[in-house]
Amino acid sequence: MEISSVGVVGAGQMGNGIAHVFALAGYDVILTDVNEAALRNAIATIERNIERQVSRGKVSAEEKAAAMARITTTLTLAEVGPCDLIIEAATERETVKQAIFEDLLPHLKPHTILTSNTSSISITRLASRTDRPEKFMGFHFMNPVPVMQLVELIRGIATDQDTWDKMHAVVRKLGKTAASAEDFPAFIVNRILMPMINEAVYTLYEGVGSVQSIDQSLKLGANHPMGPLELADFIGLDTCLAIMNVLHDGLADTKYRPCPLLTKYVEAGWLGRKTQRGFYDYRGDVPVPTR
C-alpha cells in the first residue's frame, strides 16, 4: 500500500510545519483542529514559510502553488480517518492524545497507519488504546519542522516491520533523516536536551548566573547556536516541564526532577515566545531577560 494521503491532527506550530513538508513532498494533506482560527493561522503560516523558501530559491512558485493546493482543512476529526497515514500533533498531554485516537478509530481504513508526534509519551501505551498497535509508531519531528532535518522514529512494543519500513520510506521522501529510538521516556533528543535545559534553569534558580550570562556562556563557550534558556522559550516552558515530568515519572530518578523555577514560570503563564514572556520578555523590540 502506497501512502498518498496524510491527516495531521493539530494545527499548531508542529502541525502546520508537518503539513508544510508533506504537501511540498507531494502528499495530499488534510489538516484538522478544534479551533477554526488555528486552521486559518496555520494556512497563512504555511503560505508565508513556503514563500520564504521561494524567495531563497529553494522552491519554485509552481511548487508552492501545487503544495498549497494539496492542503485542505476541516474542523471534523472523522474526515481525516480515511487517510493512509495520520499524524497526531496535539498538545503534549496523554489524555488528549488518547481521546483523539479513540475518536478516530471508527473512521479508519484497515490499512491506515497511526502515528504520534509526541516528544516524550510512551508509544506502546498510546498504541494499546487503539485497534492497531502493530500499525502505530512514534513520528517525532523537530521544531521548526521545515528547517530541522531529523525525524525520530519510535517503535512501540507491537509495531510491525512493515509499518516501520513504510515510515522510514516516508522520511526519505520528505528529504529528512530518520533516527531510530527505543520507546523509553523522551526517546533520544529530549532525553538529552531537556535535562540540559532543566539544569540551566537550576543554574538560574540557584543564582549561579543570570539569564544573559547562562545563555551567553553556552553560545560562546560550547558553540551552541542558541542559549538553553532562549531555547526553552522557543520550545515552550509548558512543553519543557511536561517532558521533565515524563522523565521523572517514567525513570524514577531524582536527576530528572523539574526545577521549581520552571514550574513557577509555567504557573505564571509565562511560557516563552508564544505568550510573549518566559525567561525573556518579548513584548518590546528586543527580548529582555526577566531575571
Q: Which of 117, 190, 198, 230 is an active site residue?
A: 190
Q: Which positions make up the binding site?
A: 10-15, 33, 92, 97, 119, 143, 274
Active site residue 41: no
Phi, psi of 178 (to 5 degrees): -95, 135
d(CA 49, CA 182): 32
Per residue in 226-278, pLDDT tens?
999 999 999 999 999 999 999 999 999 999 999 999 999 999 999 999 999 99
Residue 144: is the preceding peptide bond cis (ω within 30°)? yes
CB atoms near residue 208 (< 10 Å): 11
Q: Which three cell numbers stand for residue 126?
A: 498510546
Is pTM beyond 0.85 here? Answer: yes
What's the pLDDT at 211?
98
Per DSSP, which regions of 95-135 are E strands? 113-116
Residue 231 is inside which H or E element, if any? helix 228-235
d(CA 158, CA 60): 41
- pLDDT below 70 — which residues of the chain? none
Contacts 24+ apart (CB under 8 A), 171-179: 173/25, 173/26, 174/21, 174/22, 174/25, 175/25, 176/21, 176/149, 176/150, 176/151, 177/149, 177/150, 177/151, 178/150, 178/151, 178/152, 178/153, 179/150, 179/151, 179/152, 179/153
Q: Which of 122, 140, 198, 230 is an active site residue?
A: 140
Active site residue 248: no
Q: Which positions make up the binding site for NAD(+)?
A: 10-15, 33, 92, 97, 119, 143, 274
* Contact residues for 147 (Cβ-Cβ < 8 A; gap 6+): none
5-182 and 191-289 have identical folds:
no
Phi, psi of 224 (to 5 degrees): -80, 140
- Return the CATH fold of 5-182: Rossmann fold (3.40.50)
Active site residue 119: yes
d(CA 163, CA 219): 40
Per residue in 169-201, pLDDT tens?
999 999 999 999 999 999 999 999 999 999 999
d(CA 23, CA 64): 9
Stated length of the chain: 291
- CATH classification of 191-289, choosing from 1.10.1140.10, 3.90.320.10, 1.10.1040.10, 1.20.1280.50? 1.10.1040.10
What's the pLDDT at 26?
97
| Strand, helix or coil for residue 128 | helix
Q: Which of 119, 120, 122, 198 is an active site residue?
A: 119
Q: Which three cell numbers stand for residue 179?
A: 533516527
Q: Where are the domains of the chain?
A: 5-182, 191-289
d(CA 33, CA 97): 13
Residue 138 is inside which H or E element, if any? strand 136-141
Q: Which of 5, 152, 198, 230 is an active site residue?
A: 152
